[in-house]
Amino acid sequence: MTIAGVSGLAGRYATALFELARDAGELDTIAGDLTTLKSLIDDSQDLRRLVRSPVFSREDQGKAMAAILEKANAAQLTQRFIGLVAAKRRLFALPGMIDAYMSLLAQHRGEVTAQVVSAHALDEGQMTALADALKNAAGRDVQIETRVDNEILGGLIVRMGSRMIDSSLRTKLTNLQVAMKEVG
């Protein structure tokens, strides 16, 4: 199964997990587990260190991940998969595997995913307007993943597939600064 945009180590592992989950009828369950796990990794510096650092033994990584997944009530397939990843010393690639799995799932559903970075959290009206605009541009429903980065000052940065639209105030100010240097 070759899926556009999913390749490399993370892509191979994600494809294997996706096919197992599809065959078991657990695509959404595994997606939920992976979303929870990604959130835990993003929110915990200690967990990020465990996943990325080669200092920890495969046994320690495996035990820690098993305990976390047990506590999170993850599906058996998820637990076995993460156990295998830990045993193969591939936890460093786990965030990429999760992203690749989500891409495979979105493609399977016929969805397009857009990553949106804004200076502040978008309200319901803004999300609806953004979803409508992206749907018109893509010609189908778009899943929106939002992230807040107050350093962009204002505006949005939207990535959808290989396209990126950067209308952030930070970029506009940087472009203005470059233009002013060229003039003076």
Is the pLDDT score of 90 beyond 90? Answer: yes
**What is the reported pLDDT for 50?**
92
* Mean of per-residue pLDDT scores for the chain: 89
Is the pLDDT score of 145 beyond 70? Answer: yes
**What is the reported pLDDT for 1?**
41
The secondary element (H helix, E strand) that includes residue 142 is strand 142-148
Three-state DSSP at 161 gives coil
Three-state DSSP at 54 gives coil
pTM, rounded to two decimals: 0.68
Q: In whole angstroms, give the CA distance from residue 96 to residue 104.
A: 12
pLDDT band at 93; cut points 50, 70, 90: very high
Q: In whole angstroms, give the CA distance from residue 55 to residue 115.
A: 33
Strands 156-160 and 163-166: antiparallel
